[in-house]
Amino acid sequence: MKTPAFFDDVAPIAVTDPLAALLGAADGGRIEYHYLDAVKLAGHSCPTVAGAWLMTRTALARLYPDGTPQRGGLRVELREAVDEGVTGVIASVAGLITGAANDGGFKGLAGRFERRGLLRFGVAMAGEIRFTRLDNGSSVELAHFPQAVPRPTGLADLMRNALAPQADAATRDAFAEAWQGWVRTILIEHADDPALITENP
């Protein structure tokens, strides 16, 4: 699978999952997620996937400043309904990394490790997404503003040309390169930009 080279430059997110440890899926339950994992889940790489990645990364850093985040130990809530805009994509990426799932999630073992019901939609909040630790109740509420990283000049024209039925490979490649260049700028140059990912008090 050939992917843009910058995927490898995005800092991974490491978590520990007690369920994975119990079932022998990962030594010590340690799981390391890479941006490519989010791309495989979504089926594409775009500013929304990148924003979801960065919001989750930021939330985990805030909630676990002195240790490794615990997968399955977080509730994730989103302000919008699941079918509103790009909410579903954002929730999918956050759920991948945190283990939070909706009503179709894992039911647990012997009263432990339940992931079902930890991913919720339509929750009133000032921000866009809220992450809450189940063990101590601490939470962080975030929003992302893609407009903080402007689109490359001419991107709209490149997209229109690439989508045209008669578009050739060179036309489609030019759009794809510009599009992923935009995503790269978001993930590499603006990963810690407070104008892109904001924290609500």
Looking at residue 167, its amino acid is: A
- Give me the residue spans of the domains in the chain: 10-146+194-200
Q: What CATH code would you report for 10-146+194-200? A: 3.30.1330
Contacts (Cβ under 8 Å, ≥6 apart) of 103: 116, 117
Q: What is the mean pLDDT of residues 79-87?
A: 96
130 with 95: CB under 8 angstroms? no
Given a cut of 90, whether residue 46 has pLDDT beyond it is: yes
Neighbour tally for 142: CB within 10 Å: 21
Looking at residue 115, its pLDDT comes to 96
Looking at residue 99, its pLDDT comes to 98
Looking at residue 201, its pLDDT comes to 77
Given a cut of 90, whether residue 70 has pLDDT beyond it is: yes
Q: What is the mean pLDDT of residues 130-157?
A: 96
For 191, counting Cβ atoms within 10 Å of its Cβ (0-12 exposed, 13-18 middle, 19+ buried), the class is middle
188 with 10: CB under 8 angstroms? yes
Distance CA 113, CA 129 (A): 23
Q: What is the mean pLDDT of residues 171-178?
A: 98
pTM of the prediction? 0.96
3-state DSSP of 61-112: HHHCCCCCCECCCEEEEECCCCCCCCHHHHHHHHHHHHCCCCCCCCCCECCE
Looking at residue 170, its pLDDT comes to 98
